[in-house]
């Protein structure tokens, strides 16, 4: 068996053992077409106040700038779907990805283990692990590596797995056997466009005005939420899952099996009035290792108050 094939099979097996749902391989090269799309998106101001999106443009589109002599982008997905939901229909809503521990930490450990395994089994491999942590166009690489297509809602969708998964990457200087991209199966479906509470998705899809997206407004935006959007938040206090909930492909989503993504026992039982009266102490208990800490108590409080006063 050719060494490239043996290495690819070896990595695939280990990724599966570590709990990754899907793995695909793409050739590391400059992303010319996506670069033009990114530039247009930035020029329209669709990134809102996320000034960091404008930084390191070349790094975003050229993996060899992140890892010298890079040959491969190893793309992996990790399922976080759960059919569980908050019991009180009136309670301010929390995106499913934030029910449990912060995925950055959980997945970084697994990725580093995988890279260590590659270096142990194969030898002198130079590589870097990425979990949403660097200027890298993850969905573009995921599509090239066959993990899904970029849907009308701009998320990566897989025809058997849906879209409730995290994307992670290892960029390395090891040549591997590359996968084929998946074609787009959105067809004529426009459910996500029609369901988006703030009309953040362009009428034809495939373009998201992040400055209107509820996830951006409740997590990224540091100042007050614009008054013209405060009554369109659909009761979301952290993130938003609407464009995933309505996506027909998510009928294939299955319960994850990552104990660290299970919510704090009390989280899903919290009633509306308990959220309204949330104290910093309860916040710290509920969200000890959670990505919700990113908004801090003050940020979540702002979001809850905005929902109550809308």
Tens digits of per-residue pLDDT, 27-60?
A: 999 887 766 676 766 667 666 666 666 566 666 7
Among 9, 32, 84, 132, the one annotated catalytic? 132
96 inside domain: yes
Does 42 share its domain with 94? yes
User: Whole domain around residue 143: which residue ranges?
Assistant: 3-172
CB atoms within 10 A of CB 36: 11
Known catalytic residue: 132? yes
Residue 295 placed within a domain? yes
User: Within a domain: residue 207?
Assistant: yes
Under 8 Å between Cβ of 11 and 114:
yes
Map residue 8 onto helix, strand or coil.
helix
Residues near 271 by beta carbon (within 8 Å), at least 6 away in sequence: 88, 90, 91
Over residues 240-272, the pLDDT tens digits come to: 999 999 999 999 999 999 999 999 989 999 999
Same domain, 50 and 197: no
Residues 86 and 143 in one domain: yes
Beta strands 93-94; 236-238: pairing state: parallel
- Average pLDDT over the chain reads 92
Angle separating helix axes 3-17 and 103-122, nearest 10 degrees? 150
Q: Is residue 199 part of a domain?
A: yes
pTM given for the model? 0.92
Within-domain flag for 38: yes
The whole-number pLDDT of residue 50 equals 65
């Amino acid at each position: 068996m050719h060494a490239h094939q043996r290495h690819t099979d070896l990595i695939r097996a280990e990724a599966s053992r570590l709990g990754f749902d899907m793995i695909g391989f793409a050739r590391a090269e400059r992303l010319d077409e996506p670069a033009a799309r990114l530039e247009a998106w930035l020029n329209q101001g669709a990134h809102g106040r996320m000034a960091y999106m404008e930084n390191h443009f070349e790094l975003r589109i050229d993996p060899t700038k992140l890892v010298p002599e890079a040959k491969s982008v190893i793309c992996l997905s990790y399922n976080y779907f759960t059919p569980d939901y908050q019991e009180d229909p009136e309670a301010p809503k929390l995106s499913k990805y934030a029910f449990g521990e912060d995925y950055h930490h959980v997945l970084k450990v697994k990725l580093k283990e995988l890279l260590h395994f590659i270096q142990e089994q194969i030898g002198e491999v130079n590589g870097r692990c990425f979990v949403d942590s660097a200027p890298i166009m993850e969905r573009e690489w995921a599509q090239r590596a066959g993990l899904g297509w970029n849907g009308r809602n701009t998320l990566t969708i897989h025809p058997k797995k849906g879209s409730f998964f995290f994307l992670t990457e290892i960029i390395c200087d090891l040549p591997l056997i590359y996968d084929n991209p998946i074609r787009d199966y959105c067809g004529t479906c426009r459910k996500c466009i029609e369901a988006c509470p703030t009309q953040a998705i362009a009428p034809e899809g495939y373009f998201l005005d992040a400055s209107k997206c509820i996830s951006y407004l409740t997590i990224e935006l540091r100042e007050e939420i614009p008054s013209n959007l405060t009554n369109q938040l659909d009761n979301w206090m952290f993130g938003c899952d609407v464009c995933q909930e309505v996506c027909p492909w998510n009928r294939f989503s299955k319960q994850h099996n990552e104990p660290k993504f299970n919510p704090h026992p009390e989280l899903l039982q919290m009633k509306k009035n308990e959220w309204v009266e949330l104290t910093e102490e309860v916040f710290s208990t509920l969200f000890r290792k959670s990505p919700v800490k990113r908004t801090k108590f003050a940020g979540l409080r702002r979001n809850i108050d905005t929902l109550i006063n809308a």
